[in-house]
Amino acid sequence: MKKKLLLAALLVMSSAAIVSAQPRAVGVNLGYYPSISYEHAFGESNMLDVAANVMLPLGTGFGVGGHVTYDWIDPFNAPIPWDYEGAWHWYMGVGGAGGFVFKTNNTNGWWYAGVAGHAGIEYDFWFPFQLSLDWRPNFGVNNYGGKYGFNHYGLYGISLGVRYFFNR
């Protein structure tokens, strides 16, 4: 029992050390649906982007949703040349998205789920601050009024991101 407990504690401490040493950023995306964003880098060329968004009042309701994408930074080994302080990067990725819209007039809400894309450009300042312009389309299905259909609302995902980054 003590060996299992010691092994579990060692595993938790080593995982926490690995995660805290990785570059990451937290901030907001302002666009069609405002969201809270978290980026976690895996080396210099890959990152995981997680966002939780709020769909502000949509006539008779409001909604929550989110997406997770695995992104490649400067894909095809094509960085943006820049000789001044700070750095420009572009990225693209793929993942999943989903959400639910609640109705406020006691009617049924609707949901959506699908594949999410992510493409954008970002500027990392020489201090721990980052600006980005993203397009986050999501292709999939929705269930609106008991009828299934194509989620065309997910094509409007253009946003401006503002983030604070750690350990870069």
Q: What are phi and psi of 87, to 5 degrees?
A: -150, 140
Q: How many domains does the chain have?
A: 1
What is the percentage of the chain residues whose pLDDT exceeds 90? 37
Q: Is residue 162 part of a domain?
A: yes
What is the pTM (predicted TM-score) of this model? 0.77
pLDDT of 8 reads: 46
Q: Is residue 13 part of a domain?
A: no
Q: Is residue 85 part of a domain?
A: yes
Torsion angle of alpha carbons 14, 15, 19, 22, nearest 10°?
A: 50
pLDDT band for position 134 (50/70/90)? very high
Domain range enclosing 90: 24-166
Q: Is pLDDT at 83 greater than 50 in this prediction?
A: yes
Q: Are 102 and 133 in contact (CB under 8 A)?
A: no
Q: Is residue 14 part of a domain?
A: no
Distance CA 35, CA 51 (A): 6
Residues in the chain: 168
Q: Is residue 82 part of a domain?
A: yes
Q: What is the residue-wise DSSP string for 76-121?
A: GG-PPP--SSSEEEEEEEEEEEEEEEEESSSS--EEEEEEEEEEEE
Q: Is pLDDT at 122 greater than 70 in this prediction?
A: yes
Query: Mean pLDDT, the chain, as a whole number?
Result: 81
Q: Is residue 9 part of a domain?
A: no
Between 160 and 13, the more confident residue is: 160
CATH of the domain at 93: 2.40.160
Q: Is residue 3 part of a domain?
A: no
Q: Is residue 6 part of a domain?
A: no
